[in-house]
């Protein structure tokens, strides 16, 4: 405020001085007119004295105008610094710099607004980045799979998929391949080879606990009926029974084992075992075309019985690595248990066993035929030479048959 007053006070002083001098000068200028009026009202006796008074008054007026001019010039000179400081000292808020204060206030408001905008923008960006990082950090990329290998189940699901595709061709992109059919036990995020190794170790450790829960029992999982998640995922239900309850206990036990190893496995929601056979998330293009799966497409199979799967294996699978040729997921590690391998051989083993049985049966039949032929030849021709020749011939034929 002090610099502002220093600039304004000289002009204020000059204006005040002019106003005072103007008030003093006007009455003096009017005196000659008043004197003339008085002389006009007086008789001829006073006329003789008029020249003398006029001369005196002119002299006095000149002196007065001269003094006034000198005072005016003095008043127009800049006020001394001391006088300004003394006047300013008597004014309130003398120490407050109005210009600087206003400028500082305006600047501070602008800076605060800009800072607030920058802060809000930075917080939004940081929040988005933090959310992306968190989603990326905890997005599941591995899972524990219970593979579905029963041909009756896979065949029935294939029939359902074909029926749906006939009604809506677009949903062909949403179907899960028969080789990929599974029940998800746990999901997790593994960000390094070290964590993958730890997860494989946790799966191996869980085998002992699973066997303790099974206690040598065979677990048959019955699949019956179709349901959906928010019309985005279609799946086959597991029938509620003691075996399904045991499967839930196994999932909870495995979850604890993985968490003790430092692997954040599982989800907050309760575990609901199911067999997914279609989902819209398999295709981004499909989601633009189809927002929801119409449940009427599979009305005919809502209560259909698909078959039983014997619990015998768990796999640690990758969601994003290249799948195997049969359509099943890339498998990092597995544990096998139960009675399936001893009681119910796999299809490949059955085929191999059948081939061996057929080959053995054919070989025995050929040998029996050769023996019978040799006996007959001996009975018809008793010469030793012919008998040896026939025997060697039969032997060669037998060797040739075996080689085939």
| pLDDT, tens digit, 9 for 90 and up, residues 121-173 | 666 666 666 655 555 557 899 999 999 999 999 999 999 999 999 999 999 99
348 has a pLDDT exceeding 70: no
Q: What is the pLDDT of residues 61-70, one digit of tens each?
A: 666 667 666 6
In the CATH scheme, what is the code of domain 139-336?
Answer: 3.90.1140.10
First to last CA, the chain: 118
Report, in angstroms and rounded to the nearest whole number, the Rg of the chain calculated over CA atoms.
Answer: 56
- Looking at residue 294, the DSSP 8-state letter turns out to be -
> Looking at residue 202, what is its pLDDT?
96
Question: Is pLDDT of 39 > 50?
Answer: no
**Residue burial 156-177, b: 16+ Cβ < 10 Å; e: rest:** bbeebbeebbeeeeebebbbbe
CA distance linking residue 399 with residue 395, whole number of Å:
6
φ, ψ of residue 231 to 5 degrees: the values are: 55, 25
> Please, what is the average pLDDT of the chain?
75
Q: Can you give the pLDDT at residue 199? A: 96
Does residue 335 or residue 121 have the better pLDDT?
335
pTM, 2 dp: 0.54
DSSP label of 324: P
Mean pLDDT of 220-242: 94
Cβ atoms of 316 and 333 within 8 Å: the answer is: yes
Reported as a pLDDT band with limits 50, 70 and 90, residue 325 is very high
Kindly state the average pLDDT of the residues 356-378. 74
Q: What is the pLDDT of residue 38?
A: 46
Sequence-distant (≥ 6) Cβ neighbours of residue 150 within 8 angstroms: 307, 308, 309, 310
Share of the chain above pLDDT 90, in %: 42
- pLDDT at res. 52: 52
Residue 27 has pLDDT above 90, yes or no: no
Query: 76-134 pLDDT, tens per residue?
Result: 454 455 555 555 555 554 454 544 544 455 556 666 766 666 666 666 666 666 655 55
With cut-offs at 50, 70 and 90, classify the pLDDT of residue 355.
Answer: low
């Amino acid at each position: 405020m002090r610099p502002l007053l220093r600039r304004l006070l000289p002009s204020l002083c000059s204006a005040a001085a002019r106003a005072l001098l103007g008030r003093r000068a006007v009455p003096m200028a009017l005196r000659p007119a008043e004197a003339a009026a008085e002389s006009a009202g007086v008789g001829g006796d006073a006329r003789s004295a008029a020249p003398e008074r006029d001369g005196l008054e002119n002299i006095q007026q000149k002196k007065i105008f001269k003094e006034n001019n000198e005072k005016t010039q003095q008043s127009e000179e800049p006020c001394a610094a001391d006088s300004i400081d003394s006047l300013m000292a008597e004014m309130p808020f003398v120490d407050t710099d109005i210009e600087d204060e206003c400028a500082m206030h305006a600047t501070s408001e602008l800076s605060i607004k800009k800072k607030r905008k920058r802060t809000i923008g930075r917080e939004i960006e940081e929040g988005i980045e933090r959310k992306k990082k968190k989603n990326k950090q905890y997005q599941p990329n591995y899972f524990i799979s219970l593979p579905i290998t029963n041909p009756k189940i896979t065949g029935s699901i294939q029939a359902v998929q074909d029926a749906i595709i006939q009604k809506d061709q677009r949903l062909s992109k949403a179907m899960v391949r028969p080789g990929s059919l599974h029940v998800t036990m746990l999901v997790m995020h593994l960000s390094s080879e070290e964590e993958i190794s730890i997860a494989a170790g946790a799966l191996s450790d869980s085998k002992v606990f699973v066997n303790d829960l099974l206690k040598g029992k065979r677990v048959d999982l019955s699949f019956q009926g179709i349901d959906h998640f928010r019309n985005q995922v279609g799946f086959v239900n597991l029938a509620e029974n003691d075996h399904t309850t045991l499967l839930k206990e196994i999932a909870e036990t495995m979850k604890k084992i993985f968490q003790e190893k430092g692997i954040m496995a599982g989800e907050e929601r309760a575990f609901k075992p199911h067999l997914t056979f279609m989902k819209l998330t398999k295709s981004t293009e499909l989601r633009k075309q189809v927002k929801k799966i119409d449940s009427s497409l599979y009305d005919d199979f809502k209560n259909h019985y698909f078959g039983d799967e014997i619990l015998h294996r768990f796999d640690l699978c990758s969601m994003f690595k290249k799948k195997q040729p049969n359509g099943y997921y890339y498998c990092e590690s597995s544990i096998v248990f139960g009675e399936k391998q001893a009681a119910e051989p796999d299809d490949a083993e059955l085929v191999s066993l059948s081939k061996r049985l057929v080959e053995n049966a054919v070989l025995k039949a050929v040998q029996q035929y050769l023996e019978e032929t040799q006996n007959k030849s001996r009975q018809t021709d008793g010469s030793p030479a012919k008998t040896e020749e026939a025997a060697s011939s039969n032997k060669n034929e037998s060797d040739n048959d075996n080689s085939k």
